[in-house]
Structures are given as structure tokens and as C-alpha cells.
Amino acid sequence: MSRYSKKRRNRAKIYTFLPTGDYYFHRGLQSYDRFDFTNAKKYLQRALELEPLEPMIACQLALVHTETGDYEKSNQLLLMTLNELDERMTECYYFLANNYAHMGLLTEAYRYAKLYLEKDEVGEFTDEAEELLDWIGFSDEDNISLMKEQEDLLQMQEESKSLLEDGKYAEAVRLLEEIVKAYPDFWPAYNNLALAYFYEGETSKAFSMTEKVIAHNPGNLHALCNLAVFYFYEDQTDDLDRLLKALEKIKPMIPEHRYKLGATFALVKQYDLAYFWLRHLQKSGYQGNAGFYYWLAKAAYFTGNEKAAKAAWDHLVLLEPEKAGSEPWDESLEEADKRSKGDRALLSLLRSDNIPERLCAIFFIAISDRQPALLTHPSFKSIDEFSYPEKLYLATVLQVEKKQKLGTGMRIDKGHETAFELYEKHKDRPADVFELLKIWFEIFQKVIEDDGKFANPSAYAAAAEYVWSMQKNDTKTQREMAKKYGVSPATLRKYITKIELYL
């Protein structure tokens, strides 16, 4: 006998275990029954990989996707089950109807509920299908046509969201203005239009649109979140703080609302609250888009959860490989993004219907350290598109002539000096400086059109601010204003008279 025999007898026996599709399927069912949809999805996906022709696995995985709100993936699996695996699994028709009802596509929900009842009159979900049809509430052609119209509306809304995501704000504005005109009670379109206005630099329109939604549809979470974003970017900190305290108390049930709330908190740098909502969603099995993983990664990183941040970012890169290397905690990238948004807003202002606002845009380009990039941007208007006052002012900005002497002693550079003096006095209050500059450039435009003269920039600036303060009922004496700008009260009165001729 070999001297190693005893040693071999004492060794433990090793049995190879190779999990099958059936094994993963039952693990998935167990997780599903415990409402652990993340693991249920993982096990069922593995089961389907091992047994791709098994219709029960595909159908069960579809139900998990339904539970996590990913109705499109669920529908793909259900249709694959019916068309490629087993057409006798008629319950898939009911599951499709249920998904389409959740998506708001009621014509499709109606069609698949009817198909289910036709193909399986005594099926397990007969009562549910009939209740769904009663809830949809139509059966004749007129009502089907009405529901089709609603679906067209939803598709237009999805198209507008895609335009917003792609940065095509002007196109989004045009489409959304059509939608709200045709459907005056469709509040999601108003919310998206407010965002489009804001990104186009039309901040007053954005605020007005959002306030309209809140007035007519109180508690609209998307509108409240949009308002928080506007306050944040406009540095309206007191208003933002009050609104955030209200948003902290909201406990939304719908996954989409939780995502909106979490993303908003992340955007306004309330990372603890953002991470709470976004991580909670992820743990419930929510499979979001790239935007979801962007905000989750950022919120995780800035709350010290770097492992979760990296995992979320890796998931985003799987969805959009071109994002590799552009992590949202890279401060240089964040600053670049802010500059890009600022450039877009400025170039959008340059296309305003209001000439004084367009002159404001030229002024901000003149003082910007990004002037070369702005002037050569593809969105910068052709010279032929500018009005006469704009062309003269732009020539000054570009220093086409060292001394811009135009007309009878007209000095455009003196008009620019007036604008700059107003800006320097008010640059710490962006909203005020913009309103004040609009007043000045309204005067500036009319002086040029009347072939007038620009002299004494300080006196013009003092007079413009005085008139502006009177319009706001902000009582300041002429003596105070004259002292502020270093001119005499008599000179100020003279220039107030000049200005009032143009207003």
C-alpha cells in the first residue's frame, strides 16, 4: 500500500457546484418576494443569460423592470416573450397594458388589455384587465381619437425634453410655446418651457412661467424645484433658503419625483439631502439614465462616500463612454461648464427682440475676459443682423477706430464709459445692474438714432440711476446722487432733463 494512502483518505471530498438558470431563477423569485428588486434583477438577468429561450424567466424579469419603473425595458422583454419565445403566454398582453397605462400611453394600454381578453377570456388577470378598461374609460372611435391626441402631446413633450438635454434651447422654446398654446392646462410643458427660457437667458420669462404654474397648480414639485434652481443661479439666497426648507419637508412617493428632488438638491449643493434621495432610489432598484448617475456620483463624492461615487460614475461611463475622464468633482471642469452656460446665456441675449437688451449683451461681451471666444462663437450673429446703434457700439468694442467719432461729434466710447461706470457701482447686485443698464441703453439707442452727443459719462450715469431709482420708488435726493458720481447738483439736473426727453 502506498505510504500516501492514509493521507488521501483523510482529505475532504470536493464537489463541483455549477449554478443553472433554474437556480438563479428561484433566487430571483425569492428576492422579488422580499421586494429586493436590485438582487431580483441581477439573478434573473443571469438566469436569462444561461437559459435565453425560457419564457418564464424573461417574463419575470420584465415584471421586475415594471416594479423599478423601467417600463420600456419591461415592454421589450414582454414583446420578445410573445414574439420569439412563447405566444401562448397571454398574460404578457395584460402586463403590457399595465405598463402602457403607467406610461400614460392609454391607447396602447387599451389595445393590449383588449387583446388579453380576446386571447384569454378566463385568464388569471381577466378582472384586472376589465378594471383597467373601465379606468381608461373609452371604447368608441371618438374617445380613442381623443386619447391618441393625448399621446401625441406626450410625444411632443418627450421631444422637447430631448431638445433641452441636447442644449437646443431655442428649438425647445419654439416647440414648447406651441404646446402650451394648444394645451393650456398641461403643466409639464410649462415647467420645461421655464427651463428653456432660463437657459436662453430669458430669466424674467422663466420666473414668470414658473410662478404661473405654482399659482394654478399649487405644490407642483417640478415647478418648485425649477424655482430653487433659478434662485440658486440668480444668487437670490434668502428666497432659496426659504424654498429649500419647504422642499426638505416633502416626501415624494413617485420615483420620478424623488429623482427630481435629489437632483435639485445636488445642483444647489445641498449634497447630504441629494445623496439621501438618490441613494435611496438606487437601493430600491431604480435604473436611471446617465443624468441620474451623474448627480448620484456628485452627491456621493461631496458627502464623503467616494466608493459609491466611483461606482455611480463607472455606471454612467457604461451608458455614455464619451464621459470618461470628466468626473463632476473636477473643479476645473465645473468652472468650464459654468463658463459655457454663461456664454450661451450671453449669446442668447444678443438675439433678444429688445434692442437695449442686445446692447447690454454687447457691453458684457466688451468687458468679458472671454471676448475672443464669444466673438468667434458659431452662434454669434452676422454683422448684417445688427441694428445701426448695435453696429456702432460693436465697432467701439472691437476698436475698429481708436476714437469712435460718428455723426456730429458723437462719441460712442463715452456712452460705453457711462455703462461701465454704472456697472462698477452695481456689479455686486447682478439683477440691479442689468435693469439699470437696460435703462441706460434705451437712452443710448435713442441718442444715436437722434444723432445726439455723448459727453460727461459720470453725469449721464448719475442721471440714469436717479431716473431708475425714481421708477422703483427708491427715494434718493439729487444731492446724494450727484455726490455719489462726483458731479454738481446743477449738472445732474441738466442731464436728468436730457434723459427724460428720451424716456
Same domain, 385 and 442: yes
Overall average pLDDT of the 413-432 stretch: 84
As a whole-number percent, the residues of the chain with pLDDT over 70 amount to: 86
Same domain, 339 and 478: yes
Same domain, 356 and 496: yes
Angle between helices 412-426 and 457-471 in degrees, nearest 10: 50
Same domain, 488 and 411: yes
Q: Please check whether residue 489 lies inside any domain of the structure.
A: yes
Q: Please check whether residue 90 lies inside any domain of the structure.
A: yes
Mean pLDDT over the full length of the chain: 80
Q: Please check whether residue 256 lies inside any domain of the structure.
A: no
Q: Please check whether residue 230 lies inside any domain of the structure.
A: no
At 411, is the secondary structure helix, strand, or coil? Answer: strand
Q: Please check whether residue 88 lies inside any domain of the structure.
A: yes
Domain CATH code at residue 72: 1.25.40.10
Q: Please check whether residue 320 lies inside any domain of the structure.
A: yes
The domain of 320 spans 269-329
Q: Is the pLDDT of residue 91 over 50?
A: yes
Residue 502 near residue 446 (C-beta atoms within 8 A): yes
Same domain, 38 and 99: yes
**Number of structural domains in the chain:** 3
Same domain, 44 and 99: yes
Q: Which of 76, 111, 142 is the last residue of a domain?
A: 142
Q: Which of 329, 344, 366 is the last residue of a domain?
A: 329
Buried (b) or exposed (e) across 438-471, using 16+ Cβ within 10 A?
ebbbbbbbbbbeeebebebbbbbbbbbbbbbeee
How far apart CA 448 and CA 426 sit, in angstroms, is 25
Q: Is the pLDDT of residue 14 over 50?
A: no
- Identify the band that residue 243 occupies on the pLDDT scale cut at 50, 70 and 90: very high
Same domain, 426 and 307: no
Length, in residues, of the chain: 503
How far apart CA 120 and CA 102 sit, in angstroms, is 22
Same domain, 312 and 343: no
Q: Please check whether residue 133 lies inside any domain of the structure.
A: yes
Overall average pLDDT of the 406-416 stretch: 67
Same domain, 305 and 341: no
Q: Which residue did the predictor score with more confidence, 502 or 88?
A: 88
Same domain, 286 and 391: no
Q: Which of 277, 311, 329 is the last residue of a domain?
A: 329
Same domain, 393 and 305: no
Q: Is the pLDDT of residue 381 over 50?
A: yes
State the pTM of this model: 0.48
